[in-house]
């Protein structure tokens, strides 16, 4: 398999008759190895380890971005206000809080509670009529 075009994986549909089916050539998905792995990060571009704190911070940042508060990481300009998407990110954080209740460390629970409070308050501020 020295040719990158020969690398891939085989999809076998075992639903139906229950008889052993063989892979057909059209079921083989081919992809070059470089595209599958993506560009290797350089030492200055190390990807941080994903943990619970990073996950919830990501949703909180998304909410702030859609409220027009947090900047776009590429341009540095504030995000365009999109209240439904901001609300959706807050809803996801609330769902995570409900589903993980009793299963978090004290630090994780405190971080989640603090982030939820912050994004909720920012959402309320963003949805107030201008005269108030």
Provide the Cα torsion 47, 89, 78, 107; round to 10°.
Answer: -60
Buried b (16+ CB within 10 A) or exposed e, 72-109: eeeeeeebeeeeebbbebbebbeebbeeeeeebeeeee
Per-residue pLDDT tens for 16-31? 655 554 544 554 445 4
Task: Give 126 or 36, the one with higher predicted confidence.
Answer: 126
Give the pLDDT mean for 28-55.
Answer: 66
* List of long-range contacts for 91-95, beta carbons under 8 Å, 24+ apart: 92/59, 93/56, 93/59, 93/60, 93/63, 93/119
Name the residue with higher pLDDT: 60 or 44.
60
- CA-based max dimension of the chain: 71
> Residue 5's pLDDT is what?
53
Q: Which pLDDT does position 34 carry in this prediction?
A: 46
pLDDT, average across residues 32-43:
54
Domain borders along the chain are: 4-40, 52-127
CB 58 within 8 A of CB 31: no
For residue range 73-130, list pLDDT tens digits in order: 888 888 889 999 999 999 999 999 999 999 999 999 999 999 999 999 999 999 998 7
3-state SS class at 102: coil
């Amino acid at each position: 398999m020295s040719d990158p075009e020969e690398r891939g994986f085989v999809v076998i549909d075992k639903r139906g008759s229950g008889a052993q089916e063989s892979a057909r050539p059209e079921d083989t998905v081919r992809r070059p190895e470089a595209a599958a792995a993506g560009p290797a990060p350089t030492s200055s571009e190390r990807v941080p380890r994903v943990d619970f704190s990073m996950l919830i911070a990501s949703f909180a940042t998304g909410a702030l971005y859609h409220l027009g508060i947090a900047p776009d990481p590429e341009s540095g300009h504030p995000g365009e206000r999109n209240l439904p998407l901001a609300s959706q990110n807050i809803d996801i954080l609330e769902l995570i809080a409900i589903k993980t209740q009793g299963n978090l460390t004290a630090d994780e629970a405190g971080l989640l509670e603090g982030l939820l409070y912050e994004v909720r308050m920012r959402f309320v501020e963003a949805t107030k009529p201008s005269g108030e």
